[in-house]
Chain A
Amino acid sequence: MNVFDILGPVMIGPSSSHTAGAARIGRITLALLGAPAVRADILLHGSFAKTYRGHGTDKALIAGIMGMETDDERIRFAPELAQDAGLQVNISTGEIEGAHPNTARITLTDAEGRQVSLQGSSIGGGNILITQVNGMEVQITGQYPTLIVLHRDAPGTIAAVTEVVAETGANICSFRLSREAKGGDAVMNIELDSLTNRSLKEQIQALPNIFSCTILEPV
């Protein structure tokens, strides 16, 4: 612990879990989409569903989807800014079974019709945990550089990816694999201590059985 854990962070009020955490979930979804969104479908669960109007959680999520940082003073105007930018936002509330009380499920669509969907929770103090990407289980905290590798479940794919990571000198601090079915779509989520080589993305995408590789910087 240091003095800036006590005095800080600089943030947009009123609540680190309902605003700062929500903005970070939005930002991660945008990073996964990799292009500006033209449509955002947001499902809110639990405390997010019940109190989002009073806490401005909806505004913070939209701000994050538009790429704003957690201390951006434009957060409270995010719905209007989204409208101006041609981002269509649909917010609904509902139950997500077994989810943390502060959870949102977001589906983003870009201008070319590509989609990404994600489920994330705001777990306190502005910290977040992304638990699903495109319906597959992940565990992303956004605290470390993270590789999200969508691929076909095939022997040798994990070894090939980790070998490329090792060649760049990066150290893996967590690794998680999830798949829809044997031989079907699968996702690796790999957290690194630090990102040593920015060409890692291209190198992984060039491997067999890889659909896409996204590098998430800490958000």
Chain B
Amino acid sequence: MEFTFNYQSLSPLIEASVREGRPISQLVLAQQAAQMEMSEEEIYRQMEKNYRVMAACIEPGSRKNLRSTSGLTGGSAYKMRQVSESGKSLTGSLLSGALYRALAVSELNAAMGRIVAAPTAGSCGILPAAILTMEKERGLSERNCIMALFTASAVGMVIANTASLAGAEGGCQAECGSAAAMAAAAITELAGGTPEMVGHAVAIALKNILGLVCDPVAGLVEIPCIKRNASGVAGAFVAAELALAGIESAIPADEVIWAMKKVGDAMSSSLKETAEGGLAATPTGKKLHDQVFGQEGAPAGCHSCRGCTSGK
């Protein structure tokens, strides 16, 4: 088949999906097979491996005694899971289930566990939490869940091509924001939403996180990154729920992505992964830095390093 989309913007993909009467995930898989000169089955199997690595993060990530290498974080996924599984959570098993899974994957990352960058290591909890929660709570097939990763990836490719996925370039909106937009797209497709609804979910998710800065305490992927993964998956469900109700984003997804790029460009470098501003610069943030690295080690983080600007 002819592919009329190229991941430079989302709208041609949505239009193609409407025109063909097929979900976005199927079009993306077919296009990727043609691009990579592999069969659809081979590419699907490779994605299946990624999904299973994601799923395997939940148990070790929600262990009670899990601690990060720095000793600063760990154990929140355990607490959240206890409440979620007791049935006494405030927001019900869907949202609380997503929250503990996002914390689990993210805390496992901080503890040197095995994760899938989705799209980055810092935002690796959001997409797995969204899809695994849909699988468990809504009884979806693993196959559908794996297919939804293609929809999410397409959104990620458009953002990578036209804005950025790196906190050092665009702040946290580029990492957790992009992950939330990808997750919102996946959830919307999994819940039976139309391709247009997927587009609105992406727009809403990204709009709601626009401007979020990257201000890691001590330069480590822990504080506030781990809780922002929980917040990111919650935002993805908010966006999907609104879109599935037929609520539209006044600003189209492609323009929201453009705005995200402009906001990232305008952001001070002290708020882009340098650990010089925001929460990293608070008295407690500095104290935690000294606790991990000693007072000799100043300044924290990767200030002079532009190594992470490649998009991952």
Contacts and interface: CB of A to CB of B under 8 A. Distances in A.
B221 A50 contact: no
Contact of B112 (A76, A101, A102, A123): A76
A3 B114 contact: no
Interface stretch (A6-14, A175-183, A189-197): A6-14
A110 B109 CA distance: 33
Nearest to B116: A10
Contacts, number: 167
B114 A10 contact: yes
- Chain B interface residue number, banded: 35 or more
A149 to B, nearest CB: 29
A14 B69 contact: yes
A122 interface: yes
A101 B69 contact: no
B302 to A, nearest CB: 5
A11 B115 contact: yes
B108 interface: yes
A6 B302 contact: no
B91 to A, nearest CB: 27
Contact of A54 (B46, B47, B220, B312): B220
Contacts of B78: none
Contact of B311 (A17, A59, A122, A125): A125
Given A12-B113, A59-B69, A124-B310, 12 more contacts: A6-B156, A7-B50, A7-B153, A8-B116, A16-B308, A51-B218, A54-B69, A59-B112, A75-B112, A102-B307, A124-B308, A125-B310
Interface of B: 7, 28, 32, 35-36, 43, 46-47, 49-50, 53, 68-70, 72, 108-122, 124, 127, 149-150, 152-154, 156-157, 160-161, 165, 182, 218-222, 292-293, 297, 299-302, 304-312
